[in-house]
Amino acid sequence: MLKVAVFVSGRGSNLNAILKYPNLKNLAVVDSVISDKKDCKAFQIAEENSIDNFTLGENEGSISYTGLTEFLKARKTDLIVLAGFLKLIPDTLIKEFKNRVINIHPALLPKFGGKGMYGINVHKTVLESSQKKSGATVHFVDETYDTGKIIAQREVDISDLDSAEAIAERVLKIEHELLPYVIEKFAANKIVLKDDGVVILL
Protein backbone atom coordinates (compact mmCIF):
# COMPACT_ATOMS: atom_id res chain seq x y z
CA MET A 1 0.00 0.00 0.00
CA LEU A 2 1.59 3.28 -1.16
CA LYS A 3 1.74 5.85 1.63
CA VAL A 4 1.00 9.31 0.24
CA ALA A 5 1.50 12.74 1.78
CA VAL A 6 -0.65 15.40 0.09
CA PHE A 7 0.53 19.03 0.31
CA VAL A 8 -2.26 21.57 -0.02
CA SER A 9 -2.89 25.29 0.32
CA GLY A 10 -6.56 25.74 -0.28
CA ARG A 11 -9.90 24.16 -1.04
CA GLY A 12 -8.54 20.62 -1.48
CA SER A 13 -10.59 19.50 -4.48
CA ASN A 14 -7.63 17.49 -5.81
CA LEU A 15 -7.21 15.87 -2.38
CA ASN A 16 -10.89 14.99 -2.50
CA ALA A 17 -10.52 13.53 -6.00
CA ILE A 18 -7.69 11.29 -4.77
CA LEU A 19 -9.76 10.11 -1.80
CA LYS A 20 -12.76 9.36 -4.01
CA TYR A 21 -10.85 7.59 -6.82
CA PRO A 22 -12.05 3.94 -6.76
CA ASN A 23 -8.91 2.39 -8.27
CA LEU A 24 -6.74 3.74 -5.45
CA LYS A 25 -8.69 2.01 -2.69
CA ASN A 26 -6.40 -1.03 -2.54
CA LEU A 27 -3.27 0.65 -3.88
CA ALA A 28 -2.64 3.85 -1.95
CA VAL A 29 -3.54 5.57 1.27
CA VAL A 30 -3.34 9.27 2.05
CA ASP A 31 -1.33 9.10 5.26
CA SER A 32 -0.96 12.86 5.88
CA VAL A 33 -2.22 16.21 4.62
CA ILE A 34 0.23 19.09 5.02
CA SER A 35 -0.23 22.80 4.40
CA ASP A 36 1.60 26.07 4.91
CA LYS A 37 -1.77 27.41 6.06
CA LYS A 38 -2.93 27.19 9.69
CA ASP A 39 -6.35 26.16 8.44
CA CYS A 40 -7.91 25.52 5.03
CA LYS A 41 -10.83 23.63 3.48
CA ALA A 42 -8.46 20.80 2.62
CA PHE A 43 -7.86 20.25 6.35
CA GLN A 44 -11.61 19.82 6.85
CA ILE A 45 -11.61 17.19 4.10
CA ALA A 46 -8.71 15.46 5.88
CA GLU A 47 -10.57 15.52 9.21
CA GLU A 48 -13.73 14.10 7.57
CA ASN A 49 -11.59 11.24 6.28
CA SER A 50 -9.72 10.77 9.60
CA ILE A 51 -6.42 11.75 8.02
CA ASP A 52 -3.72 13.41 10.14
CA ASN A 53 -3.10 16.99 9.00
CA PHE A 54 -0.21 19.27 9.82
CA THR A 55 0.77 22.89 9.36
CA LEU A 56 4.22 23.81 8.16
CA GLY A 57 5.89 26.67 9.95
CA GLU A 58 7.79 27.78 13.04
CA ASN A 59 4.81 28.09 15.40
CA GLU A 60 4.15 25.72 18.29
CA GLY A 61 2.72 22.43 17.03
CA SER A 62 3.79 23.02 13.42
CA ILE A 63 6.33 21.03 11.42
CA SER A 64 9.38 23.12 10.60
CA TYR A 65 10.61 23.18 7.01
CA THR A 66 13.97 21.98 8.29
CA GLY A 67 12.32 19.01 10.03
CA LEU A 68 10.00 18.12 7.15
CA THR A 69 12.20 15.50 5.50
CA GLU A 70 12.76 13.57 8.74
CA PHE A 71 9.05 13.88 9.57
CA LEU A 72 8.04 12.28 6.26
CA LYS A 73 10.72 9.59 6.52
CA ALA A 74 9.52 8.74 10.03
CA ARG A 75 5.98 8.31 8.67
CA LYS A 76 7.41 6.04 5.96
CA THR A 77 5.92 8.26 3.25
CA ASP A 78 6.39 6.76 -0.22
CA LEU A 79 5.06 9.56 -2.43
CA ILE A 80 4.63 13.29 -1.94
CA VAL A 81 1.83 14.90 -3.97
CA LEU A 82 1.65 18.69 -4.28
CA ALA A 83 -1.96 19.68 -4.91
CA GLY A 84 -2.18 23.42 -4.78
CA PHE A 85 0.84 23.82 -2.53
CA LEU A 86 2.31 27.22 -3.30
CA LYS A 87 5.67 27.19 -1.52
CA LEU A 88 8.94 25.79 -2.82
CA ILE A 89 9.82 22.35 -1.46
CA PRO A 90 13.15 22.31 0.44
CA ASP A 91 16.05 20.98 -1.66
CA THR A 92 16.85 18.45 1.07
CA LEU A 93 13.41 16.94 0.61
CA ILE A 94 13.74 16.83 -3.19
CA LYS A 95 17.07 15.00 -2.81
CA GLU A 96 15.81 12.54 -0.17
CA PHE A 97 12.60 11.85 -2.12
CA LYS A 98 14.13 11.98 -5.62
CA ASN A 99 11.48 11.17 -8.24
CA ARG A 100 8.95 10.65 -5.43
CA VAL A 101 7.55 14.22 -5.38
CA ILE A 102 4.90 15.07 -7.99
CA ASN A 103 2.87 18.20 -8.71
CA ILE A 104 -0.35 18.90 -10.58
CA HIS A 105 -0.26 22.04 -12.69
CA PRO A 106 -3.42 23.45 -14.34
CA ALA A 107 -1.90 24.01 -17.79
CA LEU A 108 0.09 22.26 -20.52
CA LEU A 109 3.70 22.69 -19.33
CA PRO A 110 6.31 23.74 -20.27
CA LYS A 111 4.14 26.64 -21.40
CA PHE A 112 2.23 28.63 -18.77
CA GLY A 113 4.40 27.55 -15.85
CA GLY A 114 7.01 29.00 -13.52
CA LYS A 115 7.05 31.51 -10.69
CA GLY A 116 3.78 33.36 -10.26
CA MET A 117 1.91 31.03 -12.59
CA TYR A 118 -0.65 29.62 -10.21
CA GLY A 119 -4.39 29.81 -9.65
CA ILE A 120 -6.41 32.07 -11.94
CA ASN A 121 -3.21 33.74 -13.26
CA VAL A 122 -2.50 30.63 -15.32
CA HIS A 123 -5.91 30.63 -16.97
CA LYS A 124 -5.87 34.40 -17.58
CA THR A 125 -2.55 34.01 -19.43
CA VAL A 126 -3.89 31.06 -21.45
CA LEU A 127 -6.99 33.09 -22.39
CA GLU A 128 -4.94 36.17 -23.32
CA SER A 129 -2.73 34.06 -25.59
CA SER A 130 -5.83 32.78 -27.46
CA GLN A 131 -5.05 29.10 -26.93
CA LYS A 132 -7.56 26.67 -28.43
CA LYS A 133 -6.56 24.01 -25.90
CA SER A 134 -5.46 23.90 -22.30
CA GLY A 135 -5.22 21.03 -19.85
CA ALA A 136 -3.41 19.65 -16.85
CA THR A 137 0.12 18.38 -16.27
CA VAL A 138 1.50 16.06 -13.59
CA HIS A 139 5.28 16.33 -13.32
CA PHE A 140 8.12 15.39 -11.01
CA VAL A 141 9.16 18.23 -8.74
CA ASP A 142 12.72 19.51 -8.87
CA GLU A 143 14.41 22.53 -7.34
CA THR A 144 12.53 25.16 -9.36
CA TYR A 145 8.84 25.81 -10.03
CA ASP A 146 7.16 23.60 -12.66
CA THR A 147 10.32 22.43 -14.45
CA GLY A 148 10.54 18.76 -13.43
CA LYS A 149 10.12 15.89 -15.90
CA ILE A 150 6.57 15.66 -17.21
CA ILE A 151 4.80 12.40 -16.26
CA ALA A 152 1.42 12.89 -17.90
CA GLN A 153 -0.71 15.55 -19.54
CA ARG A 154 -4.33 15.67 -20.63
CA GLU A 155 -5.67 18.29 -23.05
CA VAL A 156 -9.08 19.90 -23.16
CA ASP A 157 -10.65 22.08 -25.85
CA ILE A 158 -11.29 25.60 -24.58
CA SER A 159 -12.06 27.28 -27.94
CA ASP A 160 -15.68 27.84 -26.83
CA LEU A 161 -14.72 29.56 -23.57
CA ASP A 162 -14.26 33.29 -23.03
CA SER A 163 -13.33 33.63 -19.37
CA ALA A 164 -10.43 32.51 -17.18
CA GLU A 165 -12.93 31.18 -14.64
CA ALA A 166 -14.60 28.93 -17.22
CA ILE A 167 -11.20 27.60 -18.34
CA ALA A 168 -10.23 26.98 -14.70
CA GLU A 169 -13.43 25.02 -14.12
CA ARG A 170 -12.99 22.85 -17.21
CA VAL A 171 -9.28 22.20 -16.48
CA LEU A 172 -10.00 21.36 -12.83
CA LYS A 173 -12.23 18.47 -13.96
CA ILE A 174 -9.29 17.13 -15.97
CA GLU A 175 -7.00 17.51 -12.95
CA HIS A 176 -9.35 15.43 -10.84
CA GLU A 177 -8.99 12.55 -13.31
CA LEU A 178 -5.29 12.91 -14.17
CA LEU A 179 -3.75 13.19 -10.71
CA PRO A 180 -5.34 10.05 -9.21
CA TYR A 181 -4.55 8.19 -12.45
CA VAL A 182 -0.84 9.05 -12.10
CA ILE A 183 -0.84 8.03 -8.42
CA GLU A 184 -2.41 4.72 -9.44
CA LYS A 185 0.37 4.19 -12.01
CA PHE A 186 2.97 5.13 -9.40
CA ALA A 187 1.48 2.68 -6.88
CA ALA A 188 1.58 -0.07 -9.51
CA ASN A 189 5.22 0.73 -10.37
CA LYS A 190 4.17 1.54 -13.91
CA ILE A 191 6.06 4.81 -14.24
CA VAL A 192 9.40 4.28 -15.98
CA LEU A 193 12.04 7.00 -16.02
CA LYS A 194 14.34 6.58 -19.03
CA ASP A 195 17.97 7.77 -18.96
CA ASP A 196 17.13 10.58 -21.39
CA GLY A 197 14.60 11.90 -18.88
CA VAL A 198 11.54 10.72 -20.77
CA VAL A 199 8.87 9.25 -18.53
CA ILE A 200 6.82 6.30 -19.74
CA LEU A 201 3.55 5.13 -18.24
CA LEU A 202 3.17 1.37 -18.78
Residues at the interface with ligand GRF (CB under 6 A) = 8, 10-14, 42, 83-84, 104-106, 172, 175
Q: Which residues contact 189 (CB under 8 A, 6 or more apart)?
A: none
102 or 187: CB nearest ligand GRF: 102
Query: Among residues 2 and 178, whose Cβ is nearest to ligand GRF?
Result: 178
What is the separation of C-alpha 118 from the centre of its chain, rounded to a whole number of angstroms? 12
Where residue 130 falls (left for φ over 0; alpha for ψ -120 to 50; beta otherwise) is: left
What's the closest the beta carbon of residue 89 comes to ligand GRF, in angstroms?
13
Nearest Cα neighbor of 32 from 13, 10, 56 is: 56
- CA 62 to the chain's CA centroid: 21
CB of 90 to ligand GRF, least distance (A): 18
Q: How far is the CB of 28 from ligand GRF (least distance, A)?
A: 17
- CA atoms within 13 A of residue 144's CA, in its CB half-sphere: 5
Q: Which is nearer to ligand GRF, 10 or 57 (CB)?
A: 10
Catalytic member of 105, 123, 139, 176: 105
Least separation in angstroms between residue 44's CB and ligand GRF is 12
Q: 13 or 23: whose CB is closer to ligand GRF?
A: 13
Min dist. Cβ of residue 105 to ligand GRF (A): 6
176 is catalytic: no
What burial letters (b/e) apply to 135-164, b meaning 16+ CB within 10 Å? bbbbbbbbeebbebebbbbeeeebeebeeb
- Identity of the residue, 80 or 104, whose beta carbon is nearer to ligand GRF in the bound complex: 104
Residue 52, phi then psi, degrees to nearest 5 = -60, 135
Do strands 79-83 and 2-8 pair parallel, antiparallel, or not at all (unpaired)? parallel
Active site residues: 105
